[in-house]
Each structure stands twice: as structure tokens, then as C-alpha cells.
């Protein structure tokens, strides 16, 4: 049963990444088309709401999030969470071919690293032990190990919110991302519990009557709202190219730690398998950072390209008596470029 559950979870996680990665492209194309016929979204316009491709992207993303949610009910977080990096590969490759956004060598290397790391994680992932009830999951959540982790997480989050955020939130990116990553790890274990409850209920073992089910729902809602709130603050304050890789690294690491402590994902595994999983995880994280670095370098190089009209003043004259009017214009234009003083 464990192997088949892992296979289902793996399939759902990969499908989720494919849907989410494709959704970014569909929404991007929809926004571009909407911007040609009205005010762009960046300028406060909402014409994209009338664009079918944008809605197709939203629906595709919804399917991806649902698949990711269900995947946690079948497979351990150490298998599902790292595979989220595949969505970046899907969006990067589709952007390269459909949006003509060039994928640099560093980006290609990042894609390869993510794929290699994902294969390593899949091969050495632990088998999922399916709890028989939500009450059993609650017992796992109230064991000393996870209670210590959860308590430490809440204390750290409280310190970050009450003390560090007012003083350093606008200066240090780790404040906002530390809060949303820590809450995100609790979100995932709560969502996994809810997913298991739904799966058991569909199998004929009703879990709705258990108060623990609704307690996990409440915890998940609180954690999701907090996570989204502080992630939005981070995105509003710092560059996306910096927020995305750091958040992915912190969220993935803390989620795997939280799930490993609560569900004992590594119980019964050999040291070599656990070491291989961590090597695969580090490879994925490295690939993700390289992908984002590649995109940032591409933006920087595009912005740094010199545009002649921005460098000094250019003037030329047209001689009506010239035998070759176009030749004179070209020669005078480039002569002005060469003699134009460098900007101070």
C-alpha cells in the first residue's frame, strides 16, 4: 500500500507542478493581450478580467493547487514539497519557447540540477505510513518532539512579529520570510492532516465527527492567512528575484523538518538513504537559486544595454545637395555617437 500511495502522491505532485508552471504562462499571455487593449494591470487596470487566457491560467493554477493538496494525503512532505521546484522549470521552458524569454546557460544548469535532485529525492523517498484516523494524527502532533518544534516556532514567530518586525522588517528580508516560512511549515502538516481525513472519509471511515479534524482546519486557516500576509509584505518591500529563492529554500527546509518530526518520515530508513535525500534536496535548492539568478542577470543585462538616444545629445543635418542622402545621414549619425561625451 505504501509504494502505491507514494506513486499516487508523486504523480499528483508532478502534475501540480506542471499545472502551476503552465498557469504562469497563460496568465502572462493574458495580461499582455489585455494590456494592448486597455490599461495594464501594473497601471491599476483590470481589463485582464475580460481576457479568457488569464482565466484559463487561474483555473489551471487552481487544478495545480488541488493536486498539490491531495498529494500530501498520499506521500510524505519530504517527497511532495521539493517537487514544487519543477513548476519553475515548466514555466521557464514554456517562457523560452512561447514568450521568447531567453533561457541562459545558468538557467539551463539550474533546470538540470532541479531534475537531478528531484530524481534523487524520488528514488530515496521514505514510504508513507497512512494513519487510520485523525485522532492518530493528533496523537502524533501532541508527542514531545513535535510539541517542542511547534512551541519553538510560535515563540520565534512571536519574537519576530512583536520585536524584530517593527524595527527591522523594512530592512532585513529574513524577518518577513522567517515568519511566513515558519507558519508555512505548520500549514503543511495541518493540510496533510485534513487531506488524510478527507481520504479516510471517502474510504468509508467518517472523520467529520472528530473534533480534531476541525481543530486542524482552524489551525490551517490561521497559518495560511498569516503566511500569505507576511509573504505579501515581503513581496511589497523586496525584489521578487530575491524573495522567491530565499522563501522557497526556507519554506521547503522547515516543512520537511516539521513533517519529519511529526510523521517520523525517516523512521526505518538507513543513513545512506537519508543522506541521499538531503543531497537531492540541496541539489534542488541550488538549482532553484541558479534559475532565479539567471533571470535576474537577464533583467539586469537588458536594463544595462546602452540606448543611443539616452547617451548625450545626437544631432545631424541633411544636405539637400548630397548624391546619397541616406549614406550621409547614417555617417553623420554614427559620427555623432562616437563623439558624444560619456554621461556623468
- List pLDDT tens digits, range 227-238: 988 888 887 788
Residue 328 pLDDT: 44
Q: Comparing 35-39, 204-208, 209-213, 279-283, which segment has the lowest mean pLDDT?
A: 35-39
Band (301; pLDDT cuts 50, 70, 90): low
- Per the CB < 8 A criterion, the answer to whether 223 and 192 are in contact is no
Q: In the predicted model, is pLDDT for residue 193 greater than 50? A: yes
More confident residue, 333 or 301: 301
- Per the CB < 8 A criterion, the answer to whether 85 and 284 are in contact is yes
More confident residue, 83 or 320: 83
Q: What is the DSSP letter of 265?
A: T
Q: Comparing 39-48, 114-123, 157-166, 272-281, which segment has the lowest mean pLDDT?
A: 39-48
- Per the CB < 8 A criterion, the answer to whether 101 and 95 are in contact is yes
- Per the CB < 8 A criterion, the answer to whether 82 and 117 are in contact is yes
Distance, CA of 119 to chain centre: 19
Q: Is 259 exposed, middle or buried, given 0-12, 13-18 or 19+ CB atoms closer than 10 A?
A: buried
Of the candidates 173, 323, 188, 341, the one whose C-alpha atom is nearest the C-alpha of residue 256 is 188
Residue 30 pLDDT: 85
Distance CA 251, CA 176 (A): 12
Of the candidates 251, 286, 224, the one whose C-alpha atom is nearest the C-alpha of residue 80 is 251
**Average pLDDT estimate for 287-296:** 81
Residue 316 pLDDT: 43
More confident residue, 202 or 306: 202
Residues above pLDDT 90, as percent of the chain:
29
Q: CB within 8 A of 141, min separation 6: which ones?
A: 147, 150, 189, 193, 262
Q: In the predicted model, is pLDDT for residue 225 greater than 50? A: yes
312: left (phi over 0), alpha (psi -120 to 50) or beta: left
- Per the CB < 8 A criterion, the answer to whether 250 and 289 are in contact is no
Distance CA 64, CA 84 (A): 10
Average confidence score pLDDT of the chain: 81
Helix axes 86-98, 105-124, angle to 10 degrees: 150
More confident residue, 242 or 24: 24
How many Cβ atoms from other residues are within 10 Å of residue 240's Cβ?
12
Q: In the predicted model, is pLDDT for residue 177 greater than 50? A: yes
Of the candidates 120, 81, 137, 130, the one whose C-alpha atom is nearest the C-alpha of residue 256 is 81
Of the candidates 92, 107, 88, the one whose C-alpha atom is nearest the C-alpha of residue 244 is 88
Band (203; pLDDT cuts 50, 70, 90): confident
Residue 44 pLDDT: 60
Distance CA 89, CA 195 (A): 27
Q: In the predicted model, is pLDDT for residue 314 greater than 60? A: no
Q: CB within 8 A of 204, min separation 6: which ones?
A: none
- Per the CB < 8 A criterion, the answer to whether 187 and 161 are in contact is no
Residue 315 pLDDT: 43
Each residue's pLDDT tens digit, 270-281:
889 889 989 999
Q: What is the DSSP letter of 129?
A: -
Residue 186 pLDDT: 94
Q: CB within 8 A of 174, min separation 6: which ones?
A: 246
- Per the CB < 8 A criterion, the answer to whether 284 and 96 are in contact is no
The Cβ-side half-sphere exposure at 257, using a 13 Å CA radius, reads 17
Each residue's pLDDT tens digit, 72-116:
888 888 889 888 888 888 888 888 888 877 778 888 898 899 899
**Average pLDDT estimate for 197-201:** 89
Copy the grid coordinates of residue 199: 481520504
Each residue's pLDDT tens digit, 46-64:
787 888 988 998 899 899 9
| Cα angle: 214, vertex 219, 220; to 5 degrees | 95
- Per the CB < 8 A criterion, the answer to whether 180 and 234 are in contact is yes
User: Which of 113-117, 157-161, 262-266, 320-324 is the most confident on average?
Assistant: 157-161
Band (293; pLDDT cuts 50, 70, 90): confident
Amino acid at each position: 500500500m505504501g509504494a502505491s500511495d507514494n506513486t499516487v502522491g508523486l504523480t499528483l505532485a508532478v502534475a501540480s507542478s506542471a499545472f502551476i508552471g503552465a498557469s504562469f504562462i497563460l496568465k502572462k499571455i493574458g495580461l499582455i493581450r489585455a494590456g494592448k487593449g486597455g490599461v495594464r494591470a501594473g497601471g491599476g487596470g483590470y481589463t485582464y478580467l475580460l481576457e479568457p487566457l488569464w482565466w484559463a491560467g487561474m483555473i489551471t493554477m487552481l487544478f495545480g493547487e488541488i493536486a498539490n493538496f491531495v498529494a500530501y494525503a498520499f506521500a510524505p512532505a519530504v517527497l511532495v514539497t521539493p517537487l514544487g521546484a519543477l513548476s519553475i522549470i515548466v514555466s521557464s521552458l514554456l517562457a523560452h519557447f512561447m514568450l521568447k524569454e531567453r533561457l541562459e546557460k545558468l538557467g539551463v544548469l539550474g533546470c538540470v540540477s532541479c531534475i537531478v535532485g528531484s530524481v534523487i529525492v524520488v528514488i530515496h523517498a521514505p514510504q508513507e505510513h497512512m494513519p487510520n484516523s485523525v485522532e492518530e494524527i493528533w496523537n502524533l502532533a501532541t508527542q514531545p518532539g513535535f510539541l517542542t518544534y511547534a512551541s519553538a516556532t510560535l515563540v520565534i514567530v512571536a519574537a519576530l512579529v512583536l520585536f524584530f518586525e517593527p524595527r527591522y522588517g523594512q530592512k532585513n528580508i529574513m524577518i518577513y520570510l522567517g515568519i511566513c516560512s515558519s507558519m508555512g511549515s505548520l500549514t503543511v502538516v495541518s493540510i496533510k492532516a485534513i487531506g488524510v481525513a478527507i481520504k479516510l472519509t471517502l474510504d468509508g471511515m467518517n472523520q467529520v465527527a472528530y473534533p480534531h479534524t476541525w481543530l486542524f482546519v482552524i489551525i490551517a486557516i490561521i497559518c495560511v492567512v498569516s503566511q500569505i500576509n507576511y509573504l505579501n509584505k515581503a513581496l511589497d518591500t523586496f525584489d521578487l528575484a530575491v524573495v522567491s529563492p530565499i522563501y522557497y529554500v526556507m519554506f521547503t527546509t522547515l516543512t520537511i523538518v516539521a513533517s519529519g518530526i511529526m510523521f517520523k518520515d525517516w523512521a526505518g530508513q538507513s543513513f545512506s538513504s537519508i543522506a541521499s535525500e538531503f543531497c537531492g534536496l540541496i541539489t534542488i535548492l541550488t538549482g532553484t537559486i541558479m534559475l532565479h539568478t539567471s533571470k535576474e542577470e537577464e533583467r539586469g543585462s537588458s536594463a544595462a544595454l546602452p540606448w543611443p538616444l539616452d547617451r548625450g545629445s545626437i544631432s545631424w543635418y541633411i544636405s539637400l545637395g548630397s548624391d546619397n542622402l541616406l549614406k550621409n545621414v547614417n555617417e553623420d549619425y554614427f559620427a555623432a555617437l562616437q563623439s558624444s561625451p560619456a554621461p556623468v
